[in-house]
A and B are shown apart, each in its own frame.
Chain A
Amino acid sequence: EAGVAQSPRYKIIEKRQSVAFWCNPISGHATLYWYQQILGQGPKLLIQFQNNGVVDDSQLPKDRFSAERLKGVDSTLKIQPAKLEDSAVYLCASSLQSRVPGDYGYTFGSGTRLTVV
């Protein structure tokens, strides 16, 4: 089974520039998550999709961050404009269940490491 694919692996941009990350979840996984992991902190949920609908985006800074999941498969996360504090690893994950994925597995991508200078 192919894993969760993310690209790019690394990105360096200047502050106030825009950036986009892409995620392709495991085939058949209805639920897709984007996490932000700042150095020294645990991953923080930014947004959760169920198919192409948003389930939870309460911690997404909507003034600069946006995400979409067209056709309920691939997803993109965009930051516009980027700030220095956005430097982090952005992890995508997918799961089979729409509710709390306790026992049904939760697969992460390898992340995109963003550096804003």
Chain B
Amino acid sequence: ILNVEQSPQSLHVQEGDSTNFTCSFPSSNFYALHWYRWETAKSPEALFVMTLNGDEKKKGRISATLNTKEGYSYLYIKGSQPEDSATYLCAFIEAQFYFGTGTSLTVIP
């Protein structure tokens, strides 16, 4: 079983602040990394599929970068809003999905 780590475990920020979290994964045998946004009582929603070293993806105020050689990905949220409050999960893809434990973000109005 592969070890995928996310940090921090939880985060509280003020509305308007920018924030970022980290996903660390094994740097060998990389295939793909997914980021998901999971609100309570809803389905996890796919944010990004990242496959190439140096990938940078953006969706609105959310962006992500990927470094496969050192085994990490960053997720950035610019100008956090209360509706960004959710758990952000990364998943390292090898023969199956290996999920991190998630970062729980709370944006305080």
Contacts and interface: CB of A to CB of B under 8 A. Distances in A.
Q: For this complex, into which size category does the number of interface residues on chain B fall?
A: 20 to 34
Contacts of B32: 100, 102-103
A108 B101 contact: no
Contacts of A109: 43
A31 to B, nearest CB: 11
Interface in A26-55: 33, 35, 40-45, 48
Main secondary structure of the interface of B (DSSP, over half): loop
A22 interface: no
Contacts of A25: none
Interface in B36-72: 36, 41-44, 46, 49, 51
A42 B4 contact: yes
Given A91-B44, A103-B49, A56 B96 contact: yes
B43 A107 contact: yes
Interface in A83-117: 91, 100-103, 105-111, 113
Contact of B101 (A3, A42, A48, A110): A42
18 contacts: A3-B43, A9-B41, A35-B99, A40-B101, A41-B101, A42-B89, A42-B98, A45-B96, A45-B97, A91-B44, A100-B32, A102-B32, A102-B93, A103-B32, A103-B51, A107-B46, A108-B44, A113-B41
Interface of B: 4, 31-32, 34, 36, 41-44, 46, 49, 51, 89, 93-102
Query: Which 6 A-B residue pairs are closest in the complex by CB-CB distance?
Result: A42-B99, A102-B32, A108-B43, A108-B44, A110-B43, A43-B99
